[in-house]
A = this chain, B = another copy of it.
Amino acid sequence: MAEALVETPGAAIDDACCVPADGQDGLSGGDSAALAARFKALADPNRLRLLSLVAAGDSGEACVCDLTGPLDLGQPTVSHHLKILVDAGLVTREKRGVWAYYSVVPGALDELAGALSAFGANA
């Protein structure tokens, strides 16, 4: 996990993140801020569609050149949304030749899913 976050230092979070605390005090302020930042990156329909396209791409990656058509958005807008996903530590970006290729950070979505399930388990 730590390796996967190397390219996104702005979103780097320690191992304690995303695990709701037991007991009555709930999440700490720091944990909740790190989690909220990731959910904020997911709080946009176009970013969710981009994330689903990247996840469904051949070999687990997608060229930015293949992401503009399905959403009917211009490349600057698509790149803006992808940067937010990268900054949140959910997606990585690799430049090869003239194109950038994006892939989902292994484990990042499962980690978020685990945090949500942990909430639900206490309900």
Interface positions of A (Cβ within 8 A of B): 20-27, 29, 32-33, 35-37, 39-40, 42-57, 60, 70, 103-104, 106-110, 112-114, 116-117, 119-120, 122-123
Structural contact, A32 and B60, CB atoms closer than 8 A: no
Structural contact, A56 and B122, CB atoms closer than 8 A: yes
The smallest C-beta distance from A8 to any residue of chain B, in angstroms, reads 16
A48 nearest in chain B by CB position: B32
Query: Secondary structure of the A side of the interface?
Result: helix
Q: Which of A22, A37, A55, A123 has the most CB of B within 10 A?
A: A123
Structural contact, B56 and A24, CB atoms closer than 8 A: yes
Bound-state Cα–Cα, A116 to B111, Å: 9
- Which B residues are CB-close (under 8 A) to A60? 122-123
